Amino acid sequence: MSTPREIEIIGGGLAGLALGLGLRRAGVPATVFEAGDYPRHRVCGEFITGLGEGTVARLGLAPLLADAGRLSEVEWFLGGRPLRRQRLPAPALALSRHVLDARLAAAFTAAGGRLVTGTRMDPEAAPAGRVFSTGRRRAAVSPWLGLKLHARGLRLTSELEFHLGDEAYVGLCPVEGGRVNVCGLFRQRADVTGNRETVLQAYLCATGLETLAARLAGAEICTESCSAVAGVGFDRCGVAGDRLCLGDTFAMIPPFTGNGMAMAFQGAELALGPLLAWAGGGVAWPETVRATNTALRKKFARRLKVADTAHPFLFSPPRQRWLAASSRLGLVPLRPLYHLLH
């Protein structure tokens, strides 16, 4: 039997490492090139919804997620006022990227994978066998800013909290070590300033979320967790062409869905079959790319479109008030909407 061809993965985030782990479990040589190192904090809601057991089993993720929090309820707030409590159709998994990325990296290397950190690869070179999982594609023009931090001593009113502000929304999620992840998406404002430890609270105050800012002021901020990302863009459909892209490199779903991390794992699972066929020598690379991109679009096109349509209602105050009134009257079909987004 011939030796399988090697797969190179550019980017060691969730999709890249999960794919590498799946390839190594199947005996395929795999190298992951990552510009950063582990562990690291990322701007991320740090809860996973819509991840099926089949995906977890095929990629070998179960041991890495075994101690993740199981969250079943979310409370919505509008400008600091409680709006509605919602039971999730399936529990969300809560685990910080600081822990999860490091676990994936360790599992990949333990399975015999080669992990090269602190290395940037040429983004233009796309030879056969190379997969791009380099994270979000920076939008040419984007008004959005993502901010995140961990806090200790921050009491939650529900297992998850979701706060709507003036052109902003913020999610609160408990993670390991008694910490709460506070992560928000904001329209950038020239009148808001602050350093990496205070800018999130400044944005909360500027967007009508003073009550949440006051709660955060009474908590202990874990300064090493403070993170920011600008130039955030969201795609309705994935990239085209002769490159095989996964995770946010393929398409980035708005974070309110809580589905971005699940999409990363699902994309890795969808790519695994075509890549195993190519590694075995039975399929040409262009066919492998085409088959993977077709599967990704089929899996994600509808949820990306629905998320793109719903997203504006979470930012504009008039639309937020309409959403709140409709929700109180039971006119927002939350359960069907959840399934469309996942």
Q: 222 in a domain, yes or no?
A: no
Question: What SS3 state is found at 117?
Answer: strand
> How far, in Å, CA of 202 to CA of 167, rounded?
14
In degrees, rounded to 5, the angle at the alpha carbon of residue 134 between the alpha carbons of residues 300 and 127 is 95
pTM, entire model: 0.93
Look up residue 24 and give its amino acid. R
Domain span including residue 298: 7-70+97-138+235-312
Question: Would residue 114 count as lying in a domain?
Answer: yes
End-to-end CA distance of the chain: 40
Total of domains in the chain: 1
Q: Model confidence over 51-81: pLDDT tens digits?
A: 999 999 999 999 999 999 999 999 999 988 8
pLDDT interval class at 238 (50, 70, 90)? low
300: domain CATH number is: 3.50.50.60
Distance of alpha carbon 28 from alpha carbon 6, whole angstroms: 7
277: in domain: yes
Average of pLDDT values for 7-27? Answer: 97
What does the pLDDT look like over 77-118, one tens digit per residue? 998 889 889 899 899 999 999 999 999 999 999 999 999 999
Residue 128 lies in a domain: yes
Q: Give domain status of residue 291, yes or no.
A: yes
Helix locations, the chain, DSSP H: 14-25, 53-59, 62-65, 97-110, 199-206, 210-217, 260-279, 285-310, 317-328, 334-341
